[in-house]
Amino acid sequence: MDLDLDQDLDPSKDDLPLRANTSHMLVRHYVLDLMVHFETEVISGSVVLFLETGKGAARFCRAELGTQPSPAFTNHTSGMECPAFDSASEVEACGGMTGGTLDKGCCHGGMQSSTEADGGAQSSKEEAWEVGAHSDFVLVLDCCDLAVERVEEVDVASVPGMGVLGVGGGEISFDWQMGGSSTYLIHRLVSMPSSQWELQHDLYSQCSRAPTLPGEGDLLFCTDRWSLQIRKKGVQTPQAFPHALRIWYQTKPEGASVRWTRDQSGRPCVYTSGSPINNRALFPCQEPPVAMSTWQARVRAPSDCVVLLSGENEARPDLEKTGFSRWDYHVTMPMPASTFTIAVGHWVEAKAPPASTAETDPDTATETEGLTEPQPCCHVDYPCRFPLGAAQAQAVIPHRVFAPSCLLQRAAVTLLPLLPPCLAAAHTILGVHPFPRLDVLIVPPGFSSLGMASPHVMFLSQTVLSGERHLSGSRLCHEIAHAWFGLAIGARDWTEEWISEGFATYLEDVFWVRAQQLSSQEAEDQCKLKALLRWRRLRDELQNSEEELQILRPNKESTGEVSESGASVVKHALNPGKSFMQVHYLKGYFLLKFLANKIGEKQFLSFFHLFVHKYHGQLILSQDFLRMLFGHFPELQRQGLTLEAVYADWLDQPGIPETLLRGGEACFQSSLLEEVKEELVKWIHFGGCHGKSRKRKRVGPKVNFRELTPDQLVLLLELLLEEEELSVTSLRMLEKTYGLQGQDAEVRHRWCELVVKHKHAAAYRDVERFLMQDQAMGVYLYGELMLHEDARQQALARRCFARAREDMDPAAHAVVEEMIL
């Protein structure tokens, strides 16, 4: 039977396979030892995996000890059953990592040599892999664009420090009889209580440096396009498979998990860019969210570089004799491997003024009357911050800001004053910060998003530094919200992005109005205006996107289900256009607004606090949130709302839910909106007095235009975009009246759209500047430039793409290239 999971997968548009057989074995801890080489754009080193048998291992064992074949996993794309591995010819049928070549390694040969590409060596590798391939257990890891050199079993029993674990008394279970003393030692190691995490990490570190197991230490392995497959000759069950592996490898420059580029100061850097393939091109790992693990990482980089990483500790460099500096980080909270983040470059820390204690305003406390007091933590054992009194009282966690030297002052002036109030506002609503510290980094201009949150690290686009503090403050609040929704609480099925993005979008507004210390009326008006802008954006996006991409729960009742081995696929994850869609943000946001209106915002936010306390450190599905919500608020059912109706109307269908559609824009009336409408009338009248068709210009009465907030300006420009004609005089007056080039990127984006629509050639430089400096938001401007079939505009688009393409994010590059070619 062919291993043909790739045959139905279009690498640029379709689903992402998660190959790891997590039901058979789970990685509990990674120890990475990496070196960064800027001259070759390669990261080399090793990763040591500490594993435990999974919940499906017993079923696998029964099958192997009987007459049944090895468990198969289901190809969720085609619906067929496929084995976790097969013969060399069958692996080759789906192509190797480089498109058609089978990449195999075998035991007894040490590290792979570059001279082993000849036919004889390749043939011997294939023969070695095939012997026993149909009866041996195979560990499958997610892996892509990695040059794996050797896989070996680590002799943990040779580590003197492991003696503290002992073998213990009493009867040894069947699993340990099969796996031996090393397996039992690793079980004791990964099961150590959280109170002993420092000893545990020291033992992990010692084991990671242990020698290869004598004799049969080198393991057989092969790679295909999406996975690394490892087996030990004669070992037929997960219980007997080695539970500590060391993989020697190096990344490839084309690997999509990291971006090799230059920062705004022209210095080389590399960082994890939030690729759709996550971290499988950075290190072999188990990518399914259920594979929650901890990690340690030692990273060596040139001594003039700073290494930022998703670690709990604030690492300091140790200079080595090689001229490289060594940075050591660790994490004690189990997290999916996809959340591992690294950034290496010539970053400079922005120095903060003396810290001030942020106190919670008693008037902003959430309403908890009538709700149950928080219960003890429900997650697996780890050193959790939530029960700690000091963490409960810590409204503002320690934080740092890093940027390239040329942006350091702007980053300091913009971000350092905003972080304390934004962090304090989040603490007021949700309670304990899940992570003990935060590093914020301004990443290179090719970053295709305004921000990205990871444990202990936040990436921000340079775009947020423009204008005043409105865009930067709201974006900070959005990414801070991900510490709870997206990280501390993750989606068990990655297709349910709304659990992360919808919640963060909703909480962004809640945090930001509190950080600004607005009055109740000011806060209500600001939130209504934001809601109107989002409504317009959602309506436009749903009119111009595939229905299949508009569903918040695309797997419906099958959400969260995986195959027997634990393998699955993430629908549409490799579609480059999906990266720029906002439907999961906006539709999820409106679902939460809908529920808040049913319950009352104060009670709704109090429920968030309880939900976070119950589910932090765990993975959830939509029904976990909704069932708990309906359980706490039985009045929802008395109002005629059911869980089934929420699933049907909001989660499982494309388009705008009927309840939202009925309200329309009338739901968002506010004083801020009325002011925009008044200004719109003035501009339309001004255009009538200074229009193109007037043969004799008549000087009308002087118009006094109102000063508008950034959100009001965005709405005004969107409404003006609906006008068929705007004179050159009107466009010039608009730019002058509001100083549009000094506004934030959201405002300037709409201004550029006006410039393109009305072919305002005098402002094409503004469009060019936006496309070069605000790449996180400029993708669809290329489409606007090409749409009008104006030679000058199309030349501008091609010129900008030619200049920016080398630094562009791959997804943005693919989308823009399709537009202009």
Kindly list the catalytic residues: 479
| Strands 618-620 vs 342-345: parallel, antiparallel or unpaired | unpaired
Cα–Cα distance for residue pair 363/517, rounded to 1 Å: 10
Radius of gyration of the chain (CA): 28
Sheet holding 103-105, edge to edge: 103-105, 220-223, 227-231, 139-142
Sign of the CA dihedral with 534 first, then 539, 544, and 546 last: positive
Q: Tokens for 760?
A: 């305002």
Q: Tell me how far the alpha carbon of residue 325 is from its chain's centroid.
A: 28
- CB of 304 within 8 A of CB of 316? no
Contacts of 56 (CB under 8 A, 6+ apart): 23, 24, 71, 564, 565, 566
Closest residue by Cα to residue 461 from 479, 446, 473: 446
Tallying the residues shown for the chain, one arrives at 821
Q: Which amino acid is at 297?
A: A
Cβ neighbors of 442 (< 8 A, separation 6 or more) are 264, 401, 402, 403, 404, 407, 411, 460, 461, 462, 465
**DSSP symbols for 149-198:** EEEEEB-GGG-GGGGGT---SSPPPHHHHHHHHHHHHHHHHHT--GGGHH
Give the Cα separation of 763 and 778 in Å (integer).
16
Tokens of 296: 């340690």
Find out whether 222 and 103 touch, Cβ atoms under 8 Å.
yes
- Please give the C-alpha separations between residue 500 and each of 456, 476, 636, in angstroms, as whole numbers: 17, 15, 24
Question: Are 812 and 775 within 8 A, CB to CB?
Answer: yes
Q: Give the residue carrying structure tokens 């990685």.
A: 27
Report CA-CA distances (Å) from 362 to 126, 365, 575, 603. 69, 5, 47, 17
Q: Residue 297: in which H helix or E strand, if any? A: strand 292-302
* H or E segment and range at residue 592: helix 583-599
Cα–Cα distance between 722 and 501 in angstroms, integer?
29
What CA–CA distance (Å, rounded) separates 409 from 320? 31
